Amino acid sequence: MLLIGLAGLEVAERERAWLAAPGVAGVILFARNYADRTQLMALCESIREIGGEHLLIAVDQEGGPVQRFRAGFTRLPALARIGEVYDRDATEAVRLAEEHAWVMASELRACGVDFSFAPVADLARGNAAIGPRAFHADPAATAELAAAYVRGMHLAGMASVLKHFPGHGSIAVDTHKAAAIDVRPLETIRRDDLRPFAECIAARVEGVMMAHVIYPAVAVEPAGYSSVWIRQILRGELGFQGAAISDDISMAAAGAAGGVAERVHGHLDAGCDLVLACFPDVVDEAIAAVARRAPSHPGRLAALRGAIGASWDSLTDNPQRDRFVARITALDATQANA
């Protein structure tokens, strides 16, 4: 039920009990958990030795401003760079989206990480938290590029997790810092923001992260706390059968539900399968909150586990990867010279 954050580069003594707790489904890693690839592989192995092979290991490795592992990994350009190419050559941009995804996913799988929370399917319409993390402002362009990204992740043996449903890009507020309210009618959200999610769900994505945004035309609570958004629209209307995942419960906009326990229960009661408790200072309370709850749907969580990936040695002796890396990293050089 929970994806929890750890404090440092190794599993601390108090964290061993967290990993063995029945309500913990896995770990989300951050830059604070990374020194180099050798350390990362040792940490992933330790997590599973302590908590079991079933534990999921995730990270945000989008590229651009959100890339937790940098030294020793390909420096990935922001998705907006691919969207800029789309305006000149849509076919080339689709190819770059697949290659970006494959490089990102294959490198993580070589280190034992199951999945990245990717791709961002929000529209690039000025949100402070999204910015260059989104492909494009146009729903059709975003849908095509996001679907290509999903294909690239799948080719590398990685599940894909869209974010932030039903769309975080069309309001200015950063939900890390404040409550966010999107007053548009459902018909507008369906026409624009839902289109990339719908097309990627048709491509069989394994996970969807919910937005901490309130859409009062649909529900009074943020989407991650809303059974209307999760059960009626995401699952009923769009036919999504994978894992619904909350955004981090420590974000300011998550406070609508109350304290840590109320935030955890609010997400799970609404239909989330996984709840993110990213900061170690909330993990004890989050684990206590789920102690008497029934476990999440096992099939949905199992689908998030990575397939057998290539080793790092095989990646470095791979001419195709060399071509992909050269092409995607050139996007930042092109932007710098523009």
What are the residue numbers of the active site?
176, 247
Could you give the CA distance from residue 48 to residue 45 in angstroms, rounded to a whole number? 5
Instruction: Decide: 235 and 273 in contact? Cβ < 8 Å.
Output: no
Enter the tokens of residue 130. 């999204």
Identify the CA nearest to 234 among candidates 203, 198, 182. 198
d(CA 330, CA 35) in angstroms, rounded, equals 26
* Total residues belonging to the chain: 338
Report the candidate in 151, 96, 149 with the shortest Cα–Cα distance to residue 122.
149
17 φ, ψ to 5°?
-65, -35
- Is-contact 104 61, C-beta < 8 A? yes
Radius of gyration (Cα) for the chain, nearest Å? 19
Which residues on neighbouring strands pair with residue 162, listed in sequence order?
208
- The strand pairing partners of 181, in sequence order, are 214
d(CA 75, CA 55): 27
Residue 94 CA from chain centroid, whole number: 20
